[in-house]
Amino acid sequence: MSGGDGVNVRQVAIALPPGYRLQDVIAFHSRDSESVAEQVGPQRLRKGVLLDGAAVELDIAFGPGVAECSVRADAALSAGAAAQAGQALHNILGLRIDPQPFADFVGADALLAPLVAAQPGLRIVQSASAFEALTWAIIGQQINLPFAIALRRTFILQAGRQHSGGLWCYPEAADVARLDVAQLTARKFSRAKAETLLRLARLVDDGALDLALAPGGDVGPVSAALLAVKGIGPWTVNYALLRGYGYADCSLHGDVAIRAALQALLGEPSKPDMARTEQWLAQYRPHRTMLAAHLWASLHQRPHE
C-alpha cells in the first residue's frame, strides 16, 4: 500500500516469544545519543536503511507479544528489497537465534548455568544487514566504543541518505564505494580503516564478493571470502557472523571483553590469551554465539558494551 507524500508503506506484524527482552533491543539500538539512523522510545524503534537504492524507515511499535512494523519507503520497493526489509526486521529484533538450546546445553554446567539463570531469555540483537555488521566491525577495530560510535555516525552522514521521515539511512555497498580515502581520513578515520571499508564496499558493489550465505546456511564460503580481503581478520569475520548473519557458533576468542569476562568467570589474575580462550570456548560448540552473549552480559553488570 502507499501512504501520503509518495511514501510506500507496508505493514508487518511479527510475533514475539514469551519473555522477550525488549530492553536489550532498545539498549543496542540507542548507543548513538544523537539518534542519526536509529530513534528509540520505551515502546518504539525507528531505523533508517537503504535497500536496493531505496531509502526506507523501519518503524516498530511494541505491544504485548507482537511487534507491529511499518516499512516506509521513499520509492517503490523491488521484491528483493521487500524481502531484505523483512530480514532486517527479524535481525534488529534479535529473533535469529533461539536462546533455549544453549540454556539447555549448559543447564548442569557449574560455571555457566548461573550466568544463564541471571539473564533468562537473553538474545543476540543484530545489525539490519550483513554489510552493516561488517562495516561496523571494521569501524570499531582497535578503538574505544564512544569513538567508534562517533565514526559510525560520520560514516552514515557521509555515505547514507536521509529518509523523508528525518532519519538517516545506513548506506549500502554502492553508496560507500563512491567515497574516496581522503573523504574518510578527513573525518578521523585511519587510512588503513578507510581503505578496508572502501575495499569491502567496492568488492561487494562490483559483485566480486557475495555476502549471501551458501544454500543451507553454510558460513564457510563467505567466511573464507571475507578473510581473503586485506584488512579483515578472524575477529571481524566472527563478529560479522554474529551481528550480521545470526550464526549460532561464532568464536569470539579475539574479543578483549570476552577474555575479560572469562578471566572474571574463572577467577584468574590476568586475561587468558587468545589461544587458551579459543580452546576454552570450543567446548561449547555449537552454541558459542550465545556463550559470547552471556559472557558480555556478565560484564554489563560491571559494565560493558
pLDDT digits (tens, 9 = 90+) for 12-65: 999 999 999 999 999 999 999 999 999 999 999 999 999 999 999 999 999 999
Rounded Cα distance, 15 and 162, in Å: 29
| Torsion angles phi and psi, residue 58, rounded to 5 | -95, 110
Asked whether residue 246 is assigned to any structural domain, the reply reads no
Cβ neighbours of residue 19 closer than 8 Å, sequence gap 6 or more: 120, 121
Rounded to 5°, the CA angle 203-176-29 comes to 110
Residue 169 lies in a domain: no
Residue 36 lies in a domain: yes
What b/e readout covers 162-185, taking b as 16+ CB neighbours within 10 angstroms? bbebebbbbbbbbbbbebeeeebe
Question: Could you tell me if residue 74 is inside a domain?
Answer: yes
Q: Does some domain include residue 78?
A: yes
Distance CA(138)–CA(132), nearest Å, equals 10
> Per-residue pLDDT tens for 267-298?
999 999 999 999 999 999 999 999 999 999 99
The whole domain housing 14 covers 4-96
| pLDDT tens, position by position, 197-244 | 999 999 999 999 999 998 888 999 999 999 999 999 999 999 999 999
**Radius of gyration from C-alpha coordinates of the chain:** 19
Q: State what percent of residues in the chain have pLDDT above 70.
A: 96
Confidence (pLDDT) at 13: 98
Evaluate whether residue 46 is within a structural domain: yes
260 found inside a domain: no
Q: What is the CATH number of the domain that holds 78?
A: 3.30.310
Q: pTM for the complete prediction?
A: 0.93
120 domain-assigned: no
Q: Considering its fold, how many domains does the chain have in total?
A: 1
The predicted pLDDT at position 1 comes to 45
pLDDT of the residue at 147:
97
- Phi, psi (degrees; rounded to nearest 5) at 91: -65, -55
